[in-house]
Structure 1
Amino acid sequence: MENHKSKIEQVKEIIMNTKQASEIWGLSQDSVKRLCRQGKVASFKLDETDPKSPYIILRNQPNPKKLK
């Protein structure tokens, strides 16, 4: 069981959700979701068939706010 927890923690280190991204990047959560939909940040929906499914965002990528 410890090995599974360790792997989950490793995954958590490289991904974030839209709330975390908005706090890190200084953007609103809606802006982060829009950037995800537009493909301007590395992300994917947890369940592509569910419109309410959350985005999973790669943590170590440039701040899109600074790329403008």
Structure 2
Amino acid sequence: MLIRVVYDEFQSAKVHDYMLDSLIMQRKIVGFFRADGYVRVGQDPVRGSGGSYAGHDRRRVLKAA
């Protein structure tokens, strides 16, 4: 899947989704677009950036008693 990103020179491009985490960690992009709108790196929450989540966790594994 291709994702539209904005580089720090304010140039826009489309990159493969597997490149997104690397571009964020290298601080090569200032933002990207996802289904619910534009995300500003360092200001808006992105996956893997930590934070608290109080909702239902689909990945939680329940241990049998």
User: What's the TM-score, normalizing by structure 1?
Assistant: 0.29
Tell me which protein shows more strand as a share of its residues: 2
Name the larger-Rg structure. Answer: 2
Structure with greater contact order relative to length (CA < 8 Å, sep ≥ 6):
1
* More helix as a share of residues: 1
The TM-score normalised by the length of structure 2 is: 0.30
